[in-house]
Structure 1
Amino acid sequence: MKGSMSCSQIDPVKYARSYLGSIALDPQKYRREHGEPAPFVGAVLADGPTIGWVMGDPMDKETQVEISVVIPVFNNAGSLKELYTRLTQVLESLGKSHEILFVDDGSTDGSFQRLKELNAQDKRVKVLRFTRNFGQHPALAAGFRRCSGKVVIQMDADLQNPPEEILKLLDKYREGYDVVFGVRKKRKDPLYRKMSSSLVSWMLKKFIGHSAQTNISAFKVMGRQVVDALNQCQERFRFTSGLISWLGFSQIGVEVEHAERAGGKPSYNFFKLVFLTLDLVTGFSYLPLRMASVLGLIFALMGLISGSYILLKKLFIGYYILGYASIIVGILFFSGIQLLCLGIIGEYLARIYRETQGRPLYVIKETVE
């Protein structure tokens, strides 16, 4: 891998920016200047972690397998053995070369030890371990960057999407679609999860800005071209399904079974779903900013018209407005509107600030292959 250092005192981020140069900031420029794909961008510290950015082109085609399965893991120790057994049976029935890439997103329940045991049993199992919990979408980004399959399957580790349903997705994928995602027949989730998913799906359709079919399913099959395009997306705060829809590849849904959660706690509670929704809105649309501008214009005109009416009535009729209650209510209402608009602007500013910090998307502490 490019970007090796022997001195642990060197700042990896500064190293990546100065030494790797165009690779770290513009993989397309690297291809134009060097006539070859840009490698994975990272700085490897002696006896330390890998600091990674999701950029560059796919790995050497000679290392490819037919199918890669990318699975983020966060405190799923109780379901990993069963997941591996059932998933391996499905993949071996296909008769194609494959790999299973688990990304341990800072688990604290012994998941990593279970994954190491699976690797010792089967070298087709590969494991990336983060230094801490970076989130589901950075974990997916790391898996997509490291996987080598011509076809890539994304799924969760909680067995809510039965591995046996992969066959349905692959059958549809062979018809020529770029992305095939699972549509749950009877979703076994709390009501707030169902409602929030419906809301996010509706928002994607409104915000993406074209007619591509949208989905937020974590169970999908993608071609290599889709994964390579995802690897070129450089935002720090990622929403994988939204990016896939934005890229414009052909998508279709297939009905699949949905089971009860086998182990661990849901990675998204109510508040995390709220923040995910805010990231979705600010990441894919300027509509809230435009709405704030329109609201400001509307209320400014209302204030001008009302003020003119009261002034004219006072001058020509001697009309006098009594009561402070209506004034206080008006002040509170318009103050609320102003704070809402400031909050919307603040969300965009915060996103810009986070994107310009230059921090890596994730940090890999250990790799097991």
Structure 2
Amino acid sequence: MTGLTAILACYNEGAQVEVAHREVCAALGSIEDLELLFVDDGSADDTLERLKRLAASDPRVHYISFARNFGLMAAITAGFRYAAEPWCVQLDADLQFPAAETWRLLEAAERGYDVVFGIRRERRDSWLRRAGAAGTHWVARHWLRIEVPQGASSFRVVRTAVARTIVNLPTANSHFVAKAPEIGARYTCVPVDHAPRSAGRSKFRLGRLAGDAFELLFGFSWRPLNVMYLLATLAAVFAAMLALLGFLGVATVPVLATGSVLMSGVSVACLAVVARYLHRRMLDARPRRLYYVREANIPIAPEDLLDGGESMIGPPRRTASLEVVS
């Protein structure tokens, strides 16, 4: 049997890591080469201390601790890069996807797929999160012609070599679900159960939902920009006609004022879309790394370490001054 790395990103999950460890071991412990790779995303609570205790008692447990909170995608990227086994499953430490459901994804992967996405049968999230995700995927597929599995979640089994290809693409775009079809990875979707969070508080925020939507809609298609080109051209023609009518005295002052307001709205919308694409390009070109690791119990590449792998040397200490004898 080939090995599996279970990647669990953690951010202030001190009350949950032992629970997650027990469930993953109970569900997947029959796999001979099982690795549990916890990625601590700069937690401010006792998450790291609990992970160290788990690692001391279970040799299958490895951990990576970030220098600060770099975000979920950074944690998942590190997990895929440092996974030791040929297959990975991405799980949430809050156990909203039961670890036992991993077997459904693994069975599908046996049919030759590189990526198997879990799709929730009965999603237990808030209506806003459900509607936002479904609407974003629908717009991406039907309006922007972006190949994205409808309803695909963060619960997925991935061939590790393919996962590394995806996360190492030279782009800051974090949308894994759209990147997999883009590179030609063979993928499928499998219905899975979805459970309410077992402990702690959800880290979901409306801003994150909007950010994910922008990453997808503006990161994989030029159509929004092309639409703005068309709108700007039509607005310019309309403005020229309105100016001519005003010059000839045909258009009244209210009509000219209304047209001016409409032109201003179109201009602002076009500027916002162009700015979004410019922001996307700036993120791709920025030199800093996606994350920095403060400590781990597995070997880490020097370029991923906060101190570049240099040995820790303490600062100079004050010593008693010597009396000079004349």
TM-score range, shorter chain: 0.7 to 0.9
CA contact (8 A) 2:175 2:216 kept: yes
After superposition, give the CA deviation of every residue in 1:223-243 in whole Å (9 maximum; x if it has no partner): 234223224312224222221
1:336 pairs with 2:294? no
Q: State which of 66, 72, 81 in structure 1 corresponds to 2:9.
A: 72
Give the letter aligned to residue 98 of structure 1.
L
Residue 18 of structure 1: aligned partner: none
Structure 1 residue aligned with 2:41, among 63, 88, 105? 105
Q: 1:208 to 1:265 in 2, by over 3 A?
A: farther
Q: Which residue of 2 aligns with 1:85?
A: 22
Give CA deviations for 1:67-86 in whole Å, capped at 9, x if unaligned.
Answer: 11111111222221111111
* Cα distance change on mapping 1:354 and 1:331 into 2, 3 Å: same
Per-residue CA deviation, residues 279-325 of structure 1 (Å, 9 max, x unaligned), is 222321212211110001112223344455666xx4xxxx6444x33
What is the match of residue 298 of structure 1? 234
Taking the aligned partners of 1:188 and 1:213, their CA distance within structure 2 comes to: 19
Partner residue of 1:200? 136
Tell me which amino acid in the other structure corresponds to 1:188.
Answer: R
Q: Percent identity?
A: 28
More off after superposition, 273-282 vs 128-137: 273-282
TM-score by length of 1: 0.75
**In structure 2, C-alpha distance between the alignment counterparts of 1:194 and 1:246, rounded to whole Å:** 24
CA displacement 1:36-95 (0-9 Å, x = unmatched):
xxxxxxxxxxxxxxxxxxxxxxxxxxxxx71111111112222211111110112222x3
2:51 is aligned to 115
TM, length-normalised to structure 2: 0.84
CA contact (8 A) 1:212 1:250 kept: no
Residue 352 of structure 1 pairs with residue 281 of structure 2? yes
Structure 2 counterpart of 1:52: none
- Label 1:97 to 1:282 Cα distance change in 2 as closer, same or farther (>3 A): same
SS in 1 for 2:182: helix
1:139 to 75, 88, 92: 75
Contact 1:215–1:245, Cα closer than 8 Å, also in 2: no
Q: CA RMSD in A?
A: 2.3
The answer on 1:250 being equivalent to 2:182 is: no
Cα distance, 1:121 vs. partner? 1.2
Gaps of 5+ in 2: 299-326
CA pair 75-327 structure 1, distance change in 2 beyond 3 A:
same
| Aligned 1:1-369 pairs, distance under 5 A | 66-93=3-30, 95-206=31-142, 209=145, 213=149, 216-307=152-243, 314=248, 320-322=250-252, 324-369=253-298
Q: Deviations over 1:193-243 (max 9, x none)?
A: 101111232244258856574554110111234223224312224222221
Question: Gaps (5+ residues) in structure 1?
Answer: 1-64
SS at match of 2:288: coil
Q: Distance in 2 between matches of 1:188 and 1:300?
A: 48
Q: What's the counterpart of residue 61 of structure 1?
A: none
Alpha-carbon distance, 1:129 to partner? 0.5
Q: After the TM superposition, which of the residue ranges 216-225 and 337-346 deviates more from structure 2? A: 216-225
Deviates more, 1:204-213 or 1:66-75: 204-213
Change (3 A) 1:207 1:87: farther
Tell me: CA distance 1:208–1:92, structure 2 relative to 1, closer, same or farther (3 Å). Answer: farther
Deviation at 1:330, TM superposition (A): 1.9
Amino acid in the other structure paired with 1:78: A
State the distance in 1 between where 2:175 and 2:271 align.
24
Deviations 1:139-188 (A, max 9, x none): 11111000021111111111100111111111111122221111111111
Check 1:247–1:215 CA distance in 2 against 1; reply closer, same or farther (3 A cut).
farther
